Amino acid sequence: MVSIAGSKKLKRQMAPQFWGIARKAKRFVITVKPGPHKKSESIPTAVFLRDTLNLVTTLREAKTAIYSGKVKVDGVVRKSLHHAIGLMDVVELENVPEIYRLVPTQGKLLKPITINDSEKTKKLVRVSSKTTINNGKTQIGFHDGRSIISDEKLNVGDTCLIQIPEMKIIQVIKLEAGSKGLVVRGTNAGQIGNIETVEEGTFILPKRVILTLGERKIEIPAELIMPIGKGEPVIQLQ
């Protein structure tokens, strides 16, 4: 069996801040392997159990839980210590009543929140690519590495509410004026505002969104915004 390329460890000083690990403990920490999310925007499963949730105290305990199939991400059992857990992923743990969703909050890129049992089969995914394939069908790629073939009318930047793990689109939320937008990265990460206008990109500038956050307006690249609904968010985000 061929192993996946890439180092299995990372110097603690180089790990993202949102991992919440001790910087002056051992020299190295386990890292994420190539997968659904970018390395800089995800947490390895073992670190998530040990350092983020504090459900286990050692890497050995994390291995036991993961290798025995006690961890589900988006409804699928994951048995890798290095599996990348990222934005909007839903995590279930055997014999643990809480169900977690990872969202940006208070300027942090990722933080687990506890959600209701009725929401564990729902997930928001941002459309990152749209490609025409054989027979004129459309393949849609999402921010978490998933892709489906669908006839839904949508554009890059829109958000889909999907049912997991079946990957069925329940609702499409357009990136347009009047929608609520969640800032997913940057100093405003986790803040929710009203999308006022969407400015098309030029040769020099990327596509931009004018977003109202309380009493102030900001102009932000469209790739940092995830539409989450017209009125209230369509799923629990806080």
Burial (CB count within 10 angstroms: exposed 0-12, middle 13-18, buried 19+), residue 156:
middle
SS3 of residue 82 by DSSP: coil
In a domain, 215, yes or no: yes
Do residues 79 and 127 share a domain? no
pTM over 0.85: yes
Do residues 191 and 166 share a domain? no
Residue 67 host element (H or E) = helix 59-67
**Letter string b/e over residues 177-194, b meaning 16 or more CB atoms within 10 A of that residue's CB:** eebbbbbbbeebbbbbbe
Where among 33, 58, 85 does a domain terminate?
85
> Which residue range is the domain that position 209 belongs to?
180-229
> The domain that contains 145 carries what CATH number?
2.40.50.740
Do residues 27 and 45 share a domain? yes
Q: Kindly report, residue by residue over 188-218, the tens digit of the pLDDT.
A: 999 999 999 999 988 888 899 999 998 899 9
Do residues 15 and 55 share a domain? yes
Q: Kindly report, residue by residue over 27-86, the tens digit of the pLDDT.
A: 788 888 888 998 889 999 999 999 899 999 999 999 999 999 999 999 999 999 999 999
201 CA to centre of own chain: 25
The total domain count for the chain is 3
